[in-house]
Amino acid sequence: MPHPMFIQAMTCLGCGIGPPSECSHIRIMTGGGTGLKPGEQHILPLCHKCHLWLHRGERTFYERLGIDVHKVAAELYACSGNLGAGSRVIGKARRAILAHQGRGP
């Protein structure tokens, strides 16, 4: 399974809504920028609403999450194609996000 299809099969990292997700490229600190898409190792799963929100301010969006999005993207890339492992990566990240936002255990 190509990595973008794997990402689309994941739950949204931003809000936790179920698949399908959109492929969101991390541009901060990846060599990407306006008109330059970073490589597949820098993709995160986001629903359409969260993806739009991210494009209004990438740094602010990631700060609201309160996690290392580069680490999450790397973990997803490392287990690409293994839906169970990818779901565990997203689940762990979602728990950390909720704890950061004061909504988790």
- Give just the sign of the alpha carbon dihedral 40, 57, 70, 83: negative
Mean local confidence (pLDDT), 20-46: 79
Q: Which residue has the tokens 């820098």?
A: 42
Confidence of residue 38 (pLDDT cuts 50, 70, 90): low
Mean local confidence (pLDDT), 12-28: 93
The more confident residue out of 29 and 72 is 72
- Give just the sign of the alpha carbon dihedral 41, 33, 98, 10: negative
Q: Render pLDDT for 57-97 as a digit per residue (tens, 0 to 9).
A: 989 999 999 999 999 999 999 999 999 999 999 999 999 99
With both helix axes pointing from N to C terminus, report the angle between 83-100 and 69-78 in degrees, rounded to the nearest 10.
Answer: 170
pTM, 2 dp: 0.89
